[in-house]
Chain A
């Protein structure tokens, strides 16, 4: 027993002197958290499916099959059968392939929208928090206005500005929704950094203003924003699906998208509820996965909680 204790003790000391950062400490906490593991598993499986979708999907998203079309009647859509594990959809396409391929669109739109929103939000938040004064006032009043509009309504308004709906408009619309959240969050934590001892100490050493902001303030302020980004991924996926559902999404019939699939399945709810059920479950599970991961990330990075 004493040897185990000694080895464990030794490794801990080695860990310490090797320079373990706050980030690696957070990862250590995450690995022991069942909620985080559940979230990470869902997200992981989703990402793998999305990445491999073109390879594992047996058919194309727009491909219609005579075998399925022949059995299409008003009041009957063919169910699972040989070669089509989930059956066909209302146009005689392979439902299983469409479900898989749609995950790709969801991941793409969700990640791109969040990243774009994050970048713009970080720029705005940094400017406002670092400069203060009128720059801060102007940027934050605009942010306030954006925050006052319900997020989905804002996304719909932005998407509706475009002449014709497309994937790009969805990404931009969802990104715009994220910007004010990131900007305000970052601005707040930048402000608290501005008066912190180590920033004053860096200033007292003559460190240049841009270096103070980018090296001393931003890295210490950005934690909550990164956590918010994982949570925003979930809402971005939901918002993107909602836009498609409302007909403001990608109109390209060659691409499958869960929100759009859900919208089109409405007319066939009594005939074949599975057409609505699967996309809905997929959206919920993926959003839940990102939320679980984000929440536990927030807890793990919170310096006050030590587990």
Chain B
């Protein structure tokens, strides 16, 4: 299938006067096919949110350098003018943010925030837009949607707010939805509902979904392909069951071993990854994970390319965990 979105060698550098650039995203490439759900996983500061912001072109123009290409249907989004990009945001590609309370405008009712997008991209008149908005709210599972149109964000519960945000993001049926940690601010039970809702809506509308999260549980339930990011680069990419079944990169392996499991023998200790993320990325000289890696070898101080291994898995490691380890 031809991909809907092709991200090729995306690089985002934050520039500061008198100091070397801080590279947040360092040559990330991935494709998303229509209807596909992929995951970008990594800890804080690995560049996953910056990747999303770069695709949406929401990073400030000053002090940030974005290179590479982001092609949506063959059109390079990075080459569009700001007004052309505005035409596409919300219509062709849309985004759901982490904190549903602060992502909604506190002084205008929910209904207006839905109809605003409908009026903007579909030129809908007031009444039809209100009706469509009520339908949308109903579709995302908000009870009594007609009445909720007049509610302000602070009057809704966290789960309702996230549902409303999803309704707004999907109002114009975008072909690509980026969800940046959509469940982080929610309770576990609500998280499950929201994930289920996202899954349904994506299937229903045929939209592609990029799920950005630090929660491997979210990924396990939702994504077909998983990209593991570390220090601004993809260190491992594989189909979901392969990644969780046989993680090859020591980082992925370490992450999975640090999560408590129901089927683990009782008394087994969780293994933590030692050290913490180093701020400036030393990828040019060595593997950024090498200082924390239990399997580091001499080769790791050289460049570490992303190479394809068996089963379409991409791996950036000189000494991966053997496939039979688990």
A interface residues (Cβ-Cβ under 8 A, vs B): 16-17, 19-22, 196-198, 200-209, 211, 215-216, 219-220
Contacts and interface: CB of A to CB of B under 8 A. Distances in A.
- Main DSSP-derived SS at the A contact region: helix
A197 B95 CA distance: 12
Contact of B109 (A19, A196, A211): A19
B86 A206 contact: yes
Contact of B106 (A22, A206, A211, A215): A22
Contact of B105 (A19, A206, A216): A216
Contacts of B58: 200, 203-204
Nearest to B116: A207
26 contacts: A17-B147, A21-B107, A21-B152, A22-B106, A22-B107, A22-B152, A198-B102, A198-B105, A200-B58, A200-B97, A201-B95, A201-B165, A203-B89, A204-B58, A204-B97, A205-B94, A207-B90, A207-B116, A207-B117, A209-B86, A211-B116, A215-B105, A215-B108, A219-B105, A219-B107, A220-B106
Contacts of A206: 86-91, 117, 120-121
Which of A202, A204, A216 has most B Cβ within 10 Å? A204
B152 A197 contact: no
Given A198-B105, A209-B86, 6 more contacts: A16-B155, A17-B147, A22-B152, A197-B99, A205-B120, A220-B106
Q: Which 7 pairs of residues, A with B, have the shortest CB-CB distance? A: A206-B90, A206-B89, A205-B90, A197-B102, A201-B103, A204-B95, A19-B150
B209 to A, nearest CB: 15
Contact of A208 (B86, B147, B165): B86
A202 B105 contact: yes
A203 B165 CA distance: 14
B219 interface: no
Contacts of B97: 197, 200-201, 204
B169 interface: yes
A16 B156 CA distance: 10
A198 B121 CA distance: 19
Interface of B: 56, 58, 86-91, 94-95, 97, 99, 102-109, 116-117, 120-121, 147, 150-152, 154-155, 165, 168-169
Contacts of A200: 58, 97, 103
A205 B118 CA distance: 10
A213 to B, nearest CB: 13
Nearest to A132: B62
Contacts of A205: 89-90, 94, 116-117, 120, 168-169
Contacts of A204: 56, 58, 89-90, 94-95, 97
A193 B234 CA distance: 33
Contacts of A21: 107, 152
Nearest to A23: B107
Contacts of B117: 205-207
Contacts of B106: 22, 198, 220
Contacts of A22: 106-107, 152, 154
A201 B104 contact: yes
B195 to A, nearest CB: 20
Contacts of A209: 86
A20 B97 CA distance: 25
Nearest to B89: A206
A19 B149 CA distance: 10
B88 A215 contact: no
Contacts of A220: 105-107
A19 B152 contact: yes
Contacts of B108: 215, 219
A202 B91 CA distance: 13
Nearest to A218: B107
Contact of A207 (B56, B88, B120): B120
A220 B104 CA distance: 12
A272 to B, nearest CB: 54
A298 to B, nearest CB: 17
A170 B88 CA distance: 51
A19 B108 CA distance: 11
A114 B105 CA distance: 29
A142 to B, nearest CB: 23
Most chain A CB atoms below 10 A, which of B86, B168, B169: B86
B233 to A, nearest CB: 25
Nearest to B86: A206
B172 to A, nearest CB: 8
B94 A198 contact: no
